[in-house]
Amino acid sequence: MAKSMREIKREIKSKQNTKQITKAMEMVAASRLRRAQMAAEAARPYADKLKEVVASIAAGTKGVKHPMLQKREIKKTAYLVVTSDRGLAGGYNANVLRKVMAEIKEKHSSPNEYAVFVIGRKGRDFFRKRNIEIVEEVTGLSDSPSFSDIKAVAAAAVKNYELGSYDRLYLVYNRFMNAISQIPTVKQLLPMEDIGGTAAANYEYEPSPEGVLEVLLPKYAETLVYSAVLEGKASEFGARMTAMNNATKNATKMINGLTLSYNRARQASITQEISEIVAGANAQG
């Protein structure tokens, strides 16, 4: 059944309102993306310097032993998953959650073999719906999260590893490439395998290199979690900006199609009116 001109006009107005909203959300996401990128880039030098110091101590201290550096038999694995609190970001959350579930299905045959830590409401709700126990969670992060916002979950994940609650700790997040490309990434956080390095730097440590390493290693691991959160925020805004841009384009196409339908209906109505007038005039003549 053909739509009336009034119905078509109402649909056009609705799509125009939607387009205004998606365009505004795209602009907001673009603005926040720039700030998130700057925050992520600003955090990298600190993490790099911390890694340099840790590597120097580890290389210069013979026979150093720390649970965060030593491999052990894998009996249980933990995953710290970084998601967002809000949706409307394309496949941002779906991609990272699909990635972690693929890892779980591939490596584990029982829920007793893994544990989950979550940052973000979308991830929390996802695991709750599947009855997957969450050890620790953080939700309600601001658009510019500080280290203190995620310290509790990061510290809990690192501490539980040190205590032997599990034997591997993976970080699962979206690595930011650019506004249209975010890569779901699974990164082994503990035990640390990429410290390496040589004792090139000549540092003096108090009370001892081992004592300093005892403090720095957890701090370094927590810093990597914070960096992943900042990367995730940049990825979230990039994905949302792209999604809203696509939504705006789709709304424009729909408006153009409806406008064409409206013009055709209007033309048909005018033609019909002219035909009725001509037929009436002929009948009188």
CA distance 279 to 259: 30
HSE-up (13 A, CA, CB side) for residue 205: 19
The confidence score (pLDDT) of residue 197 equals 54
Angle between helix 121-129 and helix 92-107 axes, rounded to 10 deg: 40
pLDDT of 252: 95
What's the confidence (pLDDT) of residue 1? 44
What per-residue confidence (pLDDT) applies to 144?
92
Domain 5-26+243-284 in CATH 1.10.287.80: yes
Q: What angle do CA 138, 238, 229 make, to 5 degrees?
A: 25
pTM of the model: 0.85
Nearest alpha-carbon partner for 64 in 55, 73, 72? 55
Q: What confidence score (pLDDT) does residue 21 get?
A: 95
Phi, psi at residue 201, to the nearest 5°? -80, 140
Q: Helix 5-60 and helix 209-284: axis angle, to 10°? A: 170
Domain-wise residue ranges, the chain: 5-26+243-284, 43-241
Phi, psi for 203 (deg, rounded to 5):
-105, 150
- Give the pLDDT confidence score for residue 202 in this predicted structure: 63
| 169: number of Cβ within 10 Å | 25
State which amino acid sits at residue 195.
I
Predicted pLDDT at 201:
56
Instruction: Give the residue ranges of the chain where pLDDT is below 50.
Output: 1
> Does this chain's domain 5-26+243-284 share its CATH topology with 43-241?
no
Reduced to 3 states (helix: H, G, I; strand: E, B; else coil), residue 161 is helix
Alpha-carbon gap, residue 175 to 173, rounded angstroms? 6
Q: What is the CATH number assigned to the segment(s) 43-241?
A: 3.40.1380.10
Q: Which of 149, 140, 193, 201 is nearest to 169 (CA)?
A: 193
Question: Which residues, in sequence order, are bridge partners of residue 117?
Answer: 80, 136
Render the burial of 216-233: b for 16+ CB within 10 Å, e for the rest: bbbebbbbbbbbbbbbbb
